[in-house]
Structure 1
């Protein structure tokens, strides 16, 4: 029997409620988060854009590329740059995170109920 290497990235739907706060301001509130686990990185929660207060965020000039997910766009608050990112057109294997936002846990508060 051949050994199958563990995938580099796995996705896990969460049934918990997730809220993202910047100070006391709620930026996102969802019951439909996806937890992305990538080897060598802490787990990240990707939230549906419909559950994020997109009107409070502006697109940043920051762009990055991940060979395992694709090109990302960053989002900022007026006083908090690059608090979130999104893969709008991820690679084929990561289509489940397309358009979802992940938030920088060092810049916002994350509540999981």
Structure 2
């Protein structure tokens, strides 16, 4: 439950190019196939105009043995080339459930060695115990919590935002 005295963040106040925010101290967790696959209090948030935050978790706090490289890459004009990862727990597999920037563009070096997860491709993501809602659309991986105010890019008709 969100603190009623806490000011909500508008994604329209986030910058472009995106900023990296230290989310240390917040408990960020990812669950899939009945297993906790990541848990950290050392997350980073990437904040970009019109997008919910994306949480990046240090590799040391991710069950790396559950991730396998996927045959996909994408390019971000700000952060560089992203590599994608499939997540497998037992018989369950989530294709392209996570991504990382192995060699980020200068200015985003802090993302090296971190993984971001799509909330809509895993069973559950939480921030300080609050269940995250996934950003609409299949491309963006924003984490929507009660502290974030939209509207958010990703839904039909928002491509040109």
User: What is the TM-score normalised by the length of structure 1?
Assistant: 0.89
- How far 1:23 moved relative to its partner? 3.5
In the TM superposition, structure 1's runs of 4+ consecutive aligned residues that sit over 2 Å from their partners are none
CA offsets 1:34-66 (integer angstroms, 9 cap, x no match):
011112322100000110000011010011111
Per the alignment, residue 69 of structure 2 pairs with: 59
Q: Give the counterpart of 2:18 among 1, 5, 9.
A: 9
| Residue pair 1:88, 1:99 contacting (<8 A) in 2 also | yes
Find the residue that maps to 1:50 and give its secondary structure: helix
What CA distance in whole angstroms lies between the structure 2 residues aligned with 1:38 and 1:73?
20
| Residue pair 1:89, 1:99 contacting (<8 A) in 2 also | no
Per the alignment, residue 155 of structure 2 pairs with: none
What CA distance in whole angstroms lies between the structure 1 residues aligned with 2:27 and 2:61?
11
Per the alignment, residue 109 of structure 2 pairs with: 95
Note the aligned Cα RMSD (angstroms): 1.2
* Unaligned segments of structure 1, at least 5 residues: 1-5
* Unaligned segments of structure 2, at least 5 residues: 1-14, 129-161
Find the residue that maps to 1:93 and give its secondary structure: coil
Q: Give the counterpart of 1:41 among 51, 55, 64.
A: 51
